[in-house]
Structure 1
């Protein structure tokens, strides 16, 4: 689905991502791990269009998207969540989600000023898509709750729903289980499996290694911006370079 060839990003003298090549496989759960400062979030920023690469090439479903911005990538079907879920806390959960489908709509300023039939139809579609996304992530009962009144785990699920409302083909999840307890982590892992069962490819960055080793089909390991390993969870867990740089001996296979 996504081919990355010799991708690099420099910020002045700092090389945040250094000549990384990899493939994100369709229909799979792909993971990126590594120490803090390894370049994981910058890598996500590059493939989502938030940053333009200094060099290298990105191909999405056969199309060269290397120089496309985040809005174009979203329209092509790449959705992104963030480590911290920013919501409009004084709006309802449903109203927070309605914005997600707007990138699929055509209404402009004149439609708003004249309250056209097209605007009214698109508003109904956006609301329906928001409800569908909330139901998918298990939060239908919270539609009319203020976003500021929901828990951290529920905010994580709302972030999933917001990405879903954009009708993605690929979802990039940045620490989707950050700040939640083990039981909630397992629930979010099940939600990720559900996404894949419904035809959405997933790539995630996460520090919870027990979750990643059970969940991922393929793992890429970054350290100081460079790829140091890639493979199945078993292959990565047994890789001496990964053990030394990140996992530690407690994660090595016996």
Structure 2
């Protein structure tokens, strides 16, 4: 589904991502791990079109999307969440999700000015889609509440729902379990599996190793912007380079 070839992003003399090549399969949970500053979020920004690469190529479903604007990439079917939930805090949960599906609408300023039938029909579709994804993430009961008044775990679920409201084929989740407790993490992992079971491919960045090792089909490890390993959870756990760079060796643990 996603093919990355020799992807590089330099900021001045610093290579935040350096010559990374990787393939992510459709219908799988793909994970990216690495120490802080390893280039993980920059990698997501490149794929989602938030920034343009210095070198390399990004292909999605066989189409070259390298350097394409983020709105075009979103319309092609790539959605993204962020480490800090990016929601309209003073709007209701449902209104946040209605905004997400507007990516798929055709109405323009003239439709708004004359309150056209197309606008009215699309508003109904956006609301229906918002209600569907809210039910999917298990939050139908809080659709009427202001986003500022819900819990951190609920905001994480709303962020998932907002991504799903755009009708994506691939969702990039940036530290989805950050700031929530172990029980909530287990429930969020179950929601990620549910997304994949319903045909959405997932790629996530996460620091919670228990979650990643039990969830991911494939893991890529970054360190200082470079890919140092790639494989199944069992392969990654046994990789000496990964142990030294990130997971920690037995000597480190003893110290």
State TM-score, norm by structure 1: 0.98
Q: In the TM superposition, what is the alpha-carbon distance from 1:86 to its structure 2 partner?
A: 2.1
Alignment correspondent of 2:194: 194
CA distance in 2, matches of 1:197, 1:10: 37
**Does 2:169 align with 1:169?**
yes
CA distance in 2, matches of 1:167, 1:86: 18
Q: CA RMSD in A?
A: 1.2
CA contact (8 A) 1:152 1:179 kept: yes
> 1:9-24 maps to which residues of 2 (within 5 A)?
9-24=9-24
CA contact (8 A) 2:91 2:146 kept: yes
Return 5+ residue gaps in structure 1 as ranges: none
CA contact (8 A) 1:243 1:251 kept: no
Q: In the TM superposition, what is the alpha-carbon distance from 1:80 to its structure 2 partner?
A: 0.1
1:8-65, CA deviations, whole angstroms, 9 ceiling, x for partnerless residues? 0001111000000000110000000000000000000000111110000011101111
> 1:98-247 maps to which residues of 2 (within 5 A)?
98-247=98-247
**Does 2:50 align with 1:50?**
yes
CA distance in 2, matches of 1:104, 1:89: 23
CA distance in 1, matches of 2:138, 2:150: 13
3-state SS in 2 of match to 1:89: coil
CA distance in 1, matches of 2:68, 2:177: 29
In the alignment of these two chains, the number of paired residues is 252
3-state SS in 2 of match to 1:207: coil
CA distance in 2, matches of 1:58, 1:213: 26
Alignment correspondent of 1:40: 40
Alignment correspondent of 2:26: 26
CA distance in 2, matches of 1:87, 1:150: 12
CA contact (8 A) 1:31 1:218 kept: yes
CA contact (8 A) 2:51 2:67 kept: no
Divergent runs of 4+, >4 A: none
> 1:60-79 maps to which residues of 2 (within 5 A)?
60-79=60-79
Return 5+ residue gaps in structure 2 as ranges: none
